[in-house]
Structure 1
């Protein structure tokens, strides 16, 4: 790790702690008080007083944050097991019996907690072993070492499954950035994976070509949100509702809103997410991109039929892309689905229903369940299934 990367990791580790805001507030207040008391000029005294008051306000916000976290943690205990994976603990919820079926691991989009895939998990746990887990810093899992990298998190999942006694081989089902993680986990631990179902997964090409452009605004917003959370601003109703909507809270999450909002109010959530996106964009060659990298593991990539008009407008107006840059970007986007198909000798491409978008796992969960059933049948029989109602390309 480079020195800048090491320093960023240290800062992320510190500010991911819920009490970090209180320490910062007290230090600011202390500095202000010393300046106020030792100042020999009215300007210095006024400056010291202002800093002291600011520190007191920050400390009050940080205390409020700690109070809300403690109260929420008591009211929302982890539904699964907390398992040690070395220097920290991760949360895993495994339900159902595999029987003759194929055990499933669900991986949410972004760096989201496993709960975001619960609407699919609760339907499949009646048929097979279904597993949700929280990556380090998300959900009930503690913040792990920084920086957050996909290889590191794949190793953490491997250790989590071993320690929890979960037996593979598993069908990995990943949405968006979780799909990228799922493909990498299959590459690093093929002995544990029987199949991969990618739900509009983040393409590796996006990281190698446009990673910083794509993820830069998201990382910046995550860092700002983390600082706001430390000083109690993450609990504002407007902030919580906005965060819940960004995470895809719909009718599928009835009764789970409080935990999703708690997730949005904790600094470790935002800093872990920011770190994961930053390292993916900075180290794209650590990720699986090679043709045939998954051997003959059954793999299906489902892509969303979204219009790119809004994205073109955003690139031009907000990010100041030239027409040539936009053209090059979309030339790559047109090819990017094939990257995943080519990872396996048994790779195939399907399309989500018309009228849906990137969030089709929430807009049409029945469609996803159909594909899960087909993948399970394919894995058991060795014969490819249909396309679950979508167009299939082999």
Structure 2
């Protein structure tokens, strides 16, 4: 599939992150923030369109339990630019190198959201000895497209083949009006830079996800099966504003039903897998809409991985 580089943030404009630091990994600067102590280490893998600091509130609470890490993939957040989309192998190899460069000890409990859930699975498939547990937050599943309707497939294909137009002043103002109260829960030094970053780079998630239904899906299918590690899949079935703008209510119900079935099979693919359903959280921000459920799942995986 065509590889595109978002033009919203040229490399020369790469700013210092408001939290965390930049590490040199293979000649490329990548952002990582670490807090807490002990093990296993909890590592957050963002969904497409989100960045590491979007998980700061949950990451900070996990740091009260153990070492807790968030980061930005290359081409996203405060990490250095790279052509998008990328393969799962590129992303997971990069994460491994970053964690080593930052001296983050194994084993890891990986917390992967959406596209980040696919990457968390792929990391576990590639490096099973380094993973103590796996929490998947409404993760992408490689068989999702095969089970959806023809209309959904055609719309997705059309959507990912077109280039996104520039946002209008009115659209950016609407986004700012939404983001300002939403991000009020973030620490003051992080809040404004995070909002401004999202407004400036809103197309990045679209570019990053362009190969998820073909290339990344094939990588998941052809990788080894998941090892016998504790696994919790959180499926979000509540209202999501972004998805509501894309799909009709009927299509959303159908897609949620398919997703729930695939997540159930995924949880059952390992001996210690478990499915938990969130009826009052949407896909994009379930970690903020149901933070206690996410933190409880992390706590349970830390306990189970120690057994």
Aligned to 2:175: 242
CA contact 2:117–2:136 (8 Å) conserved in 1: yes
Supply the distance in 2 between the matched residues of 1:290 and 1:248 (Cα, whole angstroms): 43
2:197 is aligned, of 263, 276, 279, to 263
Supply the distance in 1 between the matched residues of 2:180 and 2:160 (Cα, whole angstroms): 15
More strand by share: 2
Supply the distance in 1 between the matched residues of 2:181 and 2:157 (Cα, whole angstroms): 21
Aligned 1:329-348 pairs, distance under 5 A: 332-348=258-274
Cα drift, residue 266 of structure 1: 3.7
Supply the distance in 1 between the matched residues of 2:46 and 2:213 (Cα, whole angstroms): 19
2:73 is aligned, of 135, 143, 167, to 135
For residues 77 and 316 of structure 1, do their structure 2 counterparts lie closer, same or farther at Cα, with a shift above 3 Å needed? closer
Aligned to 1:361: 287
For residues 245 and 285 of structure 1, do their structure 2 counterparts lie closer, same or farther at Cα, with a shift above 3 Å needed? same
CA contact 2:6–2:203 (8 Å) conserved in 1: no
Supply the distance in 2 between the matched residues of 1:330 and 1:77 (Cα, whole angstroms): 36
For residues 163 and 340 of structure 1, do their structure 2 counterparts lie closer, same or farther at Cα, with a shift above 3 Å needed? same
2:220 is aligned, of 280, 285, 288, to 288
Which residues of structure 1 form unaligned runs of 5+? 20-65, 318-322, 382-394
Supply the distance in 1 between the matched residues of 2:137 and 2:259 (Cα, whole angstroms): 16
CA contact 1:148–1:275 (8 Å) conserved in 2: no
TM-score, normalized by length of structure 1?
A: 0.65
Aligned to 2:44: 106
TM-score, normalized by length of structure 2?
A: 0.81
Aligned to 1:29: none
Cα drift, residue 126 of structure 1: 2.6
1:95 aligns with 2:87: no
Cα drift, residue 149 of structure 1: 2.3
CA contact 1:195–1:297 (8 Å) conserved in 2: yes
- Which structure would you say has the larger RCO, counting Cα contacts within 8 Å and 6 or more residues apart? 2
Supply the distance in 1 between the matched residues of 2:187 and 2:163 (Cα, whole angstroms): 25
CA contact 1:109–1:179 (8 Å) conserved in 2: yes
CA contact 2:85–2:211 (8 Å) conserved in 1: yes
CA contact 1:83–1:164 (8 Å) conserved in 2: yes
C-alpha root-mean-square deviation of aligned residues, in Å? 3.7
More helix by share: 1
For residues 291 and 331 of structure 1, do their structure 2 counterparts lie closer, same or farther at Cα, with a shift above 3 Å needed? farther
1:115 is aligned, of 37, 41, 53, to 53
The higher radius of gyration belongs to 1
